Amino acid sequence: MTFYQADLVTDTAISVAGLTAYIQALLEENAQLHHIWVIGEVSSTNGHSKGLFFTLQDTEGKAAINCVVWHSQIEKLTQIPQRGEQLIVLGSLRLYPQRGQYQLTVWQALPAGDGLQALRYRQLRNRLEAEGLFAVERKRSLPIHPQTIAVVSSPAGAAWGDIQKTLRSRYPGVRILFSSALVQGEQAPSSIAKAIARVEQDGRAEVLILARGGGAVEELACFNDERVVRAIAQCSIPVITGIGHQRDESLADLVADVCVHTPTAAAVQVVPELQELYFEHQQRVTTLHAVMYQQLKNTENQLQEFKIRLRRLRLDQKIPQERQLLASQRHQLVTRTKQQLQQATLRCQFLEQKLASLDPKAVLKRGYAVVRQEQGAIARSASDLTIGQKLSIQLSEGQVKVEVTEIMN
């Protein structure tokens, strides 16, 4: 290279800072990069006092980007980044000139793939639980001896056949109403809800079985659909679910009145076994006979005890003794009553004599008189009288009027 060529390159070259500033302007002035969603796998994390630093890489490991969540934003994240998790992050790109590196400043992080499905499941479950759809208080008991049972399931699945076989072997004569529904795929939730509605409209069933055979988790997703959950919650008759095999409970299981792990178990739960009923009935008859026999024996024993006690009482002797005692008490009562009557008669006679002696008419008969003033007051002293005053004199027989002509002290 000649000196001329070197001078020409020097004149057209830009500095590292200039190049970095140019790239920074391209990144930070791009509106799409101010608010961008990025999906990837967390390959590493590093906690710091300022925030959480982590690396998000492509699932195939061909590309990676540094990310940071500042400390003030961490509590707002739906999902905290953990190594090995699939995440969808929302953020904006920034370039740091000192290091010549760009970094994604994260505002929000959501789980991706299975994690996203789990998040949606938790959110729906929490919302329905807050409404009280899973409360124990709203659970209803299954009828003891149902005569009509409705089954919501797929006609092509083994669950429907297992339920029919179990119900008819355990409880012959029971009426089974089948309401066909899809139990897998995107159309399944709507189909199940409509099948339950048909049972409601028919109105004959006393209990409803919602059933499906075993399958993968994704195949059972329809039983976590809100439409299915609300259809079960609004059903006017008790609902029992028998969905799949041993697994975590679905939302349909949580809202149902009773849940078991297989369609056959649901059929077993919903009806008693006829042979068991016969056996229980026979046991009750035997127990009743034993109780009645024992009661009869106890009564006979009590009767025998009463007979022995009566013989010990010797009533043939006690009755005359009691009669003699009653006669003696009667004689005493009559004698005492006569004595009291005589005493009362004597007292009455004494009172009559005393009353006669105090009778004013008797005094008048002995020659005395009662002098009364005009107002009726008895004159007791001559000083109380005046000349010319008119008086009334009561004699033993008759009464006379007089006038005072002289007062002698």
**pLDDT at position 70:** 93
**Ramachandran assignment for 405, one of left (phi > 0), alpha (psi -120 to 50 degrees), beta (any other):** alpha
- Please state the rounded mean pLDDT for residues 359-379: 75
Which of 8-22, 242-256, 332-346, 379-393 has maximum average pLDDT? 332-346
Q: In angstroms, rounded to a whole number, what is the distance separating the alpha carbons of residues 404 and 400?
A: 13
CB half-sphere exposure, 291, CA atoms < 13 A: 6
Distance CA(171)–CA(79), nearest Å, equals: 51
166 pLDDT more than 90: yes
What is the distance between the alpha carbons of residues 334 and 61, in angstroms, rounded to a whole number? Answer: 128
Specify the pLDDT at position 111.
82
Q: Which of 81, 90, 78, 73 is nearest to 39 (CA)?
A: 90
Alpha carbons 213 and 158: distance in angstroms, whole number? 7
Q: How confident is the model at residue 281 (pLDDT cuts 50, 70, 90)?
A: confident
Q: What is the mean pLDDT of residues 58-81?
A: 88
pLDDT at 7: 53
Q: How far apart are CA 366 and CA 347, in angstroms?
A: 27
Q: Does the pLDDT at position 373 exceed 90?
A: no
* pLDDT for residue 11 is more than 70: no
- Rounded-to-integer distance, Cα 109 and Cα 122, Å: 16
Q: Which of 79, 68, 159, 66 is nearest to 112 (CA)?
A: 79
pLDDT of residue 264: 93
Rounded to 5°, the CA angle 244-247-132 comes to 95
Task: Check whether 207 has a pLDDT greater than 90.
Answer: yes
Residue range 257-277: average pLDDT? 90
Phi, psi (degrees; rounded to nearest 5) at 264: -60, -40
Check residues 19 and 163 and name the one with the higher pLDDT.
163
Structure tokens at 131: 């409404």
Closest to 181 in 3D by CA, of 218, 203, 151, 220? 151
pLDDT per residue over 348-357, tens digit each?
Answer: 888 888 887 7
Amino acid (1-letter code) at residue 313: L
In this prediction, residues 151-177 reach a mean pLDDT of 92
CB 100 within 8 A of CB 79: no
pLDDT at 2: 55
For strand 148-153 and strand 239-243, is the pairing parallel, antiparallel, or unpaired? unpaired
Q: What was the pLDDT predicted at 60? A: 75
Which residue from 251, 243, 245, 249 is spatially nearest to 225, judged by alpha carbons? 251
Q: How much of the chain exceeds pLDDT 70, in percent?
A: 91
Greater confidence (406 vs 293) lies with: 293
pLDDT, residue 357, reads 72
* Mean pLDDT of the region 357-363: 70
Place of tokens 């297992």: 162
pTM for the whole structure: 0.51
Which whole-number Å values give the CA distances from 101 to 83, 135, 199, 234, 243, in the listed order?
22, 54, 64, 58, 53
pLDDT, mean over the chain = 85
Instruction: Report the range out of 79-88, 310-319, 371-380 with the highest average pLDDT.
Output: 79-88
pLDDT at 118 over 90: no
pLDDT score of 116: 61
Q: Residue 189: is its pLDDT beyond 90?
A: yes
Closest CA to 402 of 379, 383, 381: 379
